Amino acid sequence: MTPAMVESDQGSEGRPWEYLLRTWQELDVPEGWRAEIDEVQIVLVPPPHAHHNGIAEMVQRLLYRGLPDALGIYQTLGVHVAPLDKLYVPDLVVMPTELIAAAGPEASDPMDASEALLIVEITSQGNAREDRTKKYRAYARAGVPMYLLIDRFDTRGAMATLFTEPNEDGTYKRSDAVPFGKPLPLPEPFGVTLLTDGFPG
């Protein structure tokens, strides 16, 4: 399904980010949906296909095998890309547990994307382009050291790509891509190999 846009006025104070963040925090989002802030608007993302959730579960289970106690894996966690005033809700975020414990008082306060160690996005038909372009650039600008893109709709065939060494210009210096069926090593602190042969297409 294609993401839906929510029209937002900037409000009388004329500060679109503060207004959008407050609106985002107050939204009553239908169960299973996600709300994100992108291009000075709020975008509602519909629930993903079961295969999407299946891949997320497999990746999360693998990452936990070698994960230090100081790190946690979180779903539906809002992350703020401060350089661009964007707010995304990735499929998985690996972040220090102490930062989660020290989060702001509001239940929906987003975390700073720059504090994430790894962000995982799994494409759906309606949002594949955003994951490949907008979110790729945003996570690089935020300094996220590792971005794992699992793209079931790549024109070359289903692919898993690990981007590392972010640049301030919104690119990653290194990318390691494998088609589904091939292993993809994940560096420390994970030290595991992502086995993609069990991913549903």
CA dihedral (61, 70, 103, 145) in degrees, to 10, reads: -70
Interatomic CA distance for residues 184 and 180, integer angstroms: 10
Render each residue's pLDDT in the chain as its tens digit; 201 residues. 445 555 544 443 556 888 999 999 898 888 889 999 998 899 998 888 899 999 999 999 999 998 999 999 999 899 999 999 999 999 999 999 999 988 876 656 799 999 999 999 999 988 899 999 999 999 999 999 999 999 999 999 999 999 999 999 999 999 999 999 999 999 999 999 999 999 986
Give the CA distances from residue 142 to residues 120, 121, 162, in Å, rounded to whole numbers and listed in that order.
Answer: 15, 15, 16
pTM for the structure as a whole: 0.89
